[in-house]
């Protein structure tokens, strides 16, 4: 085998140039032995290549996009997830009339094997699909309580493209449907090692907590000095609806019995306000009926006058003289002012004459 050497600027190995030898030299065995030694010396003197940083083996790619009709908050949430996940890809909004099975073809064209799809309905309800394309499984969630990175109360910060730690609640291991969701979340939100767009740092944590039959997502910064946590954002709550065997459809593996649709929730809230209004109207009607009823006259009780003491009778005085009228100070001042003004006018006329 020929000796190899490496260039300083690259990693490609190039065969070392052999010395030209004549036909006479090739015949002697002693000279062949000398040539072999020279080749070995050249091999030892070659510059070694740089240490390998590792090979990108986990080729997970996540497609993050939405349907038409989303509001500004959902758009900011989608952009924040793309920023935090360097292994994600974007696509144009999908039309509402298209069926969800079309997303598998879009993932195949984008060379993605995972998908996060935001579906908006009635311009107020937001649903999130997490899917393993094209074979499944997939899960549908109702997204609630969205807070994005742009909000001022979230003061944390992290390096763009850095790999996160994933922290899961112990309740994920207690039931099989949560264990399935845990594996799906790990494959979607975990940044592959040695990804070209990722940074070799771990400075933030994704936490998934189960509380009130919902999954709470938080993103925290790890401070190097004391390992304290400061929230970066975004934050949202996932209310599980169904888990399907296929990608965006198929047989239902699990259905959440505690789920309440937004339409039902709004209907209950309207019925509560209507019940309060009905109670007020009923109280008013009862008060009107009581006013219309005749007053019940009770019979005279003789014991009521036992402790009654008669008042002293005052003599009746008849005033024959008309009382003097009350003096109004304002009118009196006006009259005095008029007299003084007339006197001043007379004095001015006499002086003029």
247-283 pLDDT tens trace: 999 999 999 999 999 999 999 999 999 999 999 999 9
Q: Strands 214-222 and 235-246, how do they pair? A: antiparallel
CB-CB contact of 251 with 243 (8 Å): no
317-328 pLDDT tens trace: 777 888 787 777
pLDDT-derived band of residue 35, with 50, 70 and 90 as boundaries? low
| pLDDT at residue 22 in the model | 53
Per-residue pLDDT at 34 exceeds 60: yes
| pLDDT at residue 5 in the model | 47
Distance of CA 19 to the CA centre of its chain: 70
| pLDDT at residue 298 in the model | 80
Q: How far is CA 151 from CA 72, 80, 126, 155, 232, in A?
A: 13, 12, 20, 9, 10
Dihedral angle over CA of 186, 188, 191, 194, nearest 10: 100
Q: Which residues contact 255 (CB under 8 A, 6 or more apart)?
A: 241, 242, 243
- Residue 228: name the closest of 204, 210, 208 by CA: 204
pTM: 0.65
Q: Which residue has the higher pLDDT, 177 or 299?
A: 177
| pLDDT at residue 209 in the model | 95
The mean pLDDT value for 81-93 works out to 92
The mean pLDDT value for 21-41 works out to 57
Q: What is the mean pLDDT of the chain?
A: 83
Q: How far is CA 107 from CA 96, 99, 116, 131, 243, in A?
A: 17, 14, 11, 10, 20
Per-residue pLDDT at 144 exceeds 80: yes
| pLDDT at residue 32 in the model | 61
- Does residue 172 have a cis peptide bond before it, meaning omega lies within 30 degrees of 0? no
Q: Which residues contact 296 (CB under 8 A, 6 or more apart)?
A: none
| pLDDT at residue 195 in the model | 86
Per-residue pLDDT at 66 exceeds 90: yes
145-202 pLDDT tens trace: 999 988 878 888 888 889 999 999 999 999 999 999 999 999 999 998 888 888 888 8
Handedness of CA 241, 244, 249, 251 (dihedral sign): negative
CB-CB contact of 137 with 246 (8 Å): yes
Q: Which of 44-58, 141-155, 164-178, 218-232 has the lowest mean pLDDT?
A: 44-58
| pLDDT at residue 333 in the model | 82
Q: How far is CA 323 from CA 90, 93, 242, 320, 326, in A?
A: 100, 95, 95, 9, 9
Q: Which residues contact 76 (CB under 8 A, 6 or more apart)?
A: 148, 149, 150, 234
| pLDDT at residue 6 in the model | 47
- Residue 116: name the closest of 65, 73, 80 by CA: 65
pLDDT-derived band of residue 340, with 50, 70 and 90 as boundaries? confident
Q: What is the DSSP string of 109-124?
A: HTT-SEEEEEEEETTT
pLDDT-derived band of residue 237, with 50, 70 and 90 as boundaries? very high
């Amino acid at each position: 085998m020929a000796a190899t050497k490496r260039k300083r600027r690259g990693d490609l190995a190039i065969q070392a140039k052999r010395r030209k030898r004549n036909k006479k030299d090739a015949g002697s065995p002693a000279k062949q032995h000398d040539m072999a030694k020279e080749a070995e010396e050249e091999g030892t003197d070659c510059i070694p290549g740089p240490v390998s940083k590792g090979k990108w083996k986990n080729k997970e790619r996540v497609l993050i996009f939405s349907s038409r009709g989303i509001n500004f908050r959902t758009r900011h949430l989608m952009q924040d997830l793309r920023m935090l996940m360097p292994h994600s890809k974007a696509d144009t909004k999908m039309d509402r009339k298209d069926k969800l099975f079309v997303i598998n073809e879009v993932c195949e064209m984008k060379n993605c094997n995972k998908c996060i799809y935001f579906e908006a309905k009635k311009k107020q309800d937001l649903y999130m699909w997490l899917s393993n394309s094209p074979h499944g499984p997939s899960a549908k969630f109702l997204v609630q309580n969205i807070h994005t990175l742009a909000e001022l109360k979230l003061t944390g910060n992290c390096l763009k493209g850095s790999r996160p730690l994933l922290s899961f609640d112990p309740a994920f291991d207690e039931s099989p449907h949560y264990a399935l969701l845990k594996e799906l979340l790990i494959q979607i939100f975990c940044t592959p090692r040695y990804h070209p767009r990722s940074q070799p740092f771990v400075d933030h944590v994704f936490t998934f907590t189960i509380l009130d039959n919902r999954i709470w997502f938080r993103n925290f910064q790890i401070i190097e000095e004391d390992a304290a946590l400061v929230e970066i954002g975004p934050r949202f709550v996932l209310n599980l609806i169904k888990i399907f065997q296929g990608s965006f459809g198929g047989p239902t593996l699990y259905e959440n019995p505690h789920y309440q649709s937004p339409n039902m929730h709004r209907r209950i809230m309207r019925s509560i306000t209507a019940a309060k209004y009905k109670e007020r109207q009923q109280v008013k009607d009862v008060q009107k009926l009581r006013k219309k009823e005749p007053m019940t006259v009770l019979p005279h009780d003789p014991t009521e006058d036992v402790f009654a003491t008669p008042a002293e009778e005052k003599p009746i005085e008849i005033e024959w003289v008309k009382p003097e009228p009350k003096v109004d100070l304002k009118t009196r001042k006006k009259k005095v002012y008029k007299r003084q003004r007339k006197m001043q006018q007379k004095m001015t006329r006499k002086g003029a004459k």
